[in-house]
Copies of this chain bind each other. A is one copy, B any other.
């Protein structure tokens, strides 16, 4: 999916929150596993479509976050959907390296609720120190 449209009406349809952001779910396009949720501003969403890969807005760092730029764990965009209220995005992605989480796991959703506690699950596929040479991706 590549996109060279200059008409940005589709971006005006989004119900951005008070901070100009929308939550974006990344789901593995083959397995259906939900990999992560992060935020996008208008520029991030436009670039995501233009470059055919997930580009988020890092709230902690206050800048664009080209997912995988350090780790190589790029998310290739296969499909993009918007919900009925136009305030949540979901992407079907191909997760390069099979790892979405900065802990080295496939998915960020590895804490399972059991009997009043959150229990870590899912194997760490790669040591986070090996993933990042410099800083958190």
Contact = CB atoms under 8 A, between A and B. Distances in A.
A47 interface: no
Contact of A111 (B5, B25, B33, B81): B81
**For chain A, which range describes its interface: under 10, 10 to 19, 20 to 34, or 35 or more residues?**
35 or more
Interface of A: 3, 5, 7-10, 13, 23, 25, 27, 31-34, 36-37, 49, 79-86, 88, 90, 101-103, 105, 108-113, 115-118
B80 A108 contact: no
B112 A83 contact: no
Contact of A37 (B79, B88, B103): B88
Nearest to A88: B37
Contacts of A105: 84
